[in-house]
Structure 1
């Protein structure tokens, strides 16, 4: 097939392109440069041209990046691909992934499509591409179609004739400021006046939030840290799931006696917040907070989450008047499931993962860490007028006393059938053991509740979305309660000689 090159297919990671863009880590050779991004961009333009019914020369694309060191080289290839097709480009510089989608919605930019150069929280040597149209992000079938159409023989000549600069960060920031001013319900143009709010951008692309969003709203941002873009990520990984990153923003919040701390990942499609006591509102707690906010405006709506959320969260959502639909891991899976429910007449206004990816129906189902922070800030401004704080909204959330997440490696090359065999045997093991009760419905792996000598909780064994790994999640309502259950499960897993236990 013309244009078919298996090396390009190795760059697909679900609905994204991901590769090694810089040398520096042994055993990880570079496979993503301006040459590859040029060919992929040409193929994307051809795909987009067919989709919207415009000639490539009549299209306008926005191109942005996070702070990664390889961004300039990869953008050079994107500009070259656009130059070859005569497609106009708006160069948005360092910006957030969600803002790139909004560039297709803002009248000032009015782009037909967008390309974001990012690899989220991955190490400094990695990079990639995300794609948007006015309908949202592309899915894995779209990416496969684009990669199939890549023609490596077309080369990558230097050409920036179609490139114009566009300050997307400024436009997007004004959009968020307007949302907060309207949502806070005050006549004041500075509804955050009197609040101290610290931001930790992890040297990614989110530093703009302190200067361009919070300050115009009257907030004191003294104590914010790691705002300057630096693709070496010298302070900590920009990842709201990383313990060191969360610890850094917790310390900053307490040290500066802030009303709120906010942390973003590299490209700002994920976030978490820290309350004034230094407690992290992330994972299940962030889902509970966003659910409580959504359910105030949309009673009875269905909240779609990933598969590893707690039973306490389910009880909280139901007590708050909503429905909890636990689905699969993967932010695109969660979002697509929420969209599907709406199409079938089941209202669903929030799709959110424990990773910090959260998408609201009111916001185009765009997973946007800055929008999550915006919703938290609006609610904080409202609550403070009543003498309350964000933790008051989730006071009824019952949280586990112990939790464990393990990654069991599969050492055989053909790992999917082997993993399926393990899951089938796991189901039989649980059914035969009277201490476990399999949960139904369940959309990913095998989940079961357990009751062992007063130790209650749940376990989930599943296949990784892309890797030869079987994640094992445990939660217990008893202090140190996971250890006993883990030993029971390890005894079972030791029966499989192609599994490597951590």
Structure 2
């Protein structure tokens, strides 16, 4: 007996929906049956597009407690369609993507990236790289047949499957990519701390850094999964990096998020460098003529004058990749991209010092770590690299437990239009003066007359709202961010006791004030 599910309907029924490059949900919702269905839909889409390659699927995962179970469900689904499964083990997401692209294979990474251990996800890669939004649309439309006898009532596989023996080829291919590009001994004499926590990239970093000459000290390993978010670095991680830098006399502390596609790099003082600042330095090092980055990234990239073209996109690697692909089609020679979270992408071959780096159009962390450390060794420290850029400082954080739909409705109620401000944006966030421009490419990004920027955006992966600010000083950005977060917390408090702005009111015909909030009674 078979059950037939359309993925669009399964998303609603299960609560497992698409985020960036794949499906994410709570571990409880990501049953074996749901993961089996998503895998079938992905493979069916590839078959319809003629992109299945030699009938093999590569899989890997991060170090969450649920990852092995989900990898087994993915492998079972692939075998049911006649695919040979290659188990790449626990390797970074970009390592799996590179292996698939190098061998013409589709790949599925089991990872929830930076979100907590009670959630996980499936990150899909075609033989050409990670899926784009057009692929997502096609996958959501797939109808899949599920053999009911394979699963119990809870959606677990009736017979626990076994994964194939781990194939180390993906790990070795990824390591070799960097050892072949960076000169031997280029990190001689550098003392680097690797903040391991539960990052699946720790072994790669140890191998590459030591081989290139760095003295490596492993720090902060955790058996328990730690949800490190490189855009909202935890206070405890800031304290740790500063303490380690002093205690071990380090030139830098480096790390990544859980699946190794977002980097963390500190300066010699243990202060973490923002991802969009690191992206500018990496793009400049690689001699890029065209840089693609989301609208939330620091505007210093334009102010450097180092690049022929800077293209801005919505937040998310699929949007960055689509824009990079367009730039390549239009004749750009050296095209790279980066995100505010630090992930760095390359769309064209990079030639430098008689060495070549093949394209890897997916978020990568290791290339950022290596470029910054090499530049820092040559220039006298990571802090000097940052000081070489225009004086624009960004800060970001998030308010968790904030339903995305509520956030969207609230932002829709704001109308920053300079002196004419019926939405109340000046009243709420007017510490930068009057708005002089706004951008709704992704969320609401407002520029004030003094050059300061506030950008509010509902997360696409979790129930939270993110805030990005930019100004001419680090201290000012910190104060501006704190002010915005207090305001967002007040919104959350209101939402805990009331409906989202405009929701019930549209139905009941009740008036809403200029800020989208009902008057208290």
Fold match by TM threshold 0.5: yes
Residues 280 and 484 (structure 1), Cα distance of their counterparts in 2 relative to 1, 3 Å cut: closer
Matches within 5 A, 1:19-38: 19-21=25-27, 30-38=28-36
Q: Offset of 1:285 from its aligned partner?
A: 2.4
2:293 is the alignment partner of 1:305: yes
The answer to whether the Cα contact below 8 Å between 1:204 and 1:267 also exists between their aligned partners in 2 is yes
The answer to whether the Cα contact below 8 Å between 2:342 and 2:365 also exists between their aligned partners in 1 is yes
- In 2, Cα distance between equivalents of 1:470 and 1:365: 27
Unpaired segments ≥5 residues, structure 2: 151-156, 350-358, 492-500, 502-512
SS at structure 2 position matched to 1:373: helix
Deviation per CA, 1:307-327: give whole Å up to 9, x if none. Answer: 223344432x32x35543333
Q: Offset of 1:268 from its aligned partner?
A: 0.2
2:272 is the alignment partner of 1:272: no
Q: Offset of 1:81 from its aligned partner?
A: 1.1
Q: Offset of 1:405 from its aligned partner?
A: 5.2
Task: Give the alignment's TM-score, normalised by structure 1.
Answer: 0.79
Residues 282 and 219 (structure 1), Cα distance of their counterparts in 2 relative to 1, 3 Å cut: same
Give the alignment partner of residue 136 of structure 2, picking from 140, 143, 147. Answer: 143
Residues 237 and 411 (structure 1), Cα distance of their counterparts in 2 relative to 1, 3 Å cut: closer
- In 2, Cα distance between equivalents of 1:421 and 1:310: 24
Residues 96 and 484 (structure 1), Cα distance of their counterparts in 2 relative to 1, 3 Å cut: closer
Q: In angstroms, what is the RMSD of aligned CA positions?
A: 3.8
Task: Give the alignment's TM-score, normalised by structure 2.
Answer: 0.76
Deviation per CA, 1:132-157: give whole Å up to 9, x if none. Answer: 12211012442343343332345356
Match of 2:211 in 1: 216
Q: Offset of 1:251 from its aligned partner?
A: 2.8
Match of 2:498 in 1: none
Deviation per CA, 1:370-391: give whole Å up to 9, x if none. Answer: 122233344345x1xxx63344
Residues 208 and 467 (structure 1), Cα distance of their counterparts in 2 relative to 1, 3 Å cut: closer
- In 1, Cα distance between equivalents of 2:309 and 2:434: 25
The answer to whether the Cα contact below 8 Å between 1:249 and 1:274 also exists between their aligned partners in 2 is yes
2:63 is the alignment partner of 1:63: no
The answer to whether the Cα contact below 8 Å between 2:274 and 2:340 also exists between their aligned partners in 1 is yes
Match of 2:201 in 1: 206
SS at structure 2 position matched to 1:104: helix
Q: Offset of 1:209 from its aligned partner?
A: 2.6
The answer to whether the Cα contact below 8 Å between 1:202 and 1:265 also exists between their aligned partners in 2 is no
Once the two structures are overlaid, the 10-residue window that deviates more, 119-128 or 30-39, is 30-39
Give the alignment partner of residue 83 of structure 2, picking from 84, 87, 90. Answer: 87
Match of 2:312 in 1: 326
- In 2, Cα distance between equivalents of 1:174 and 1:472: 35
The answer to whether the Cα contact below 8 Å between 2:171 and 2:204 also exists between their aligned partners in 1 is no
SS at structure 2 position matched to 1:426: coil
2:468 is the alignment partner of 1:449: no
- In 2, Cα distance between equivalents of 1:103 and 1:39: 24
* Pairs aligned (count): 461
Give the alignment partner of residue 439 of structure 1, picking from 437, 443, 448. Answer: 437
SS at structure 1 position matched to 2:417: helix
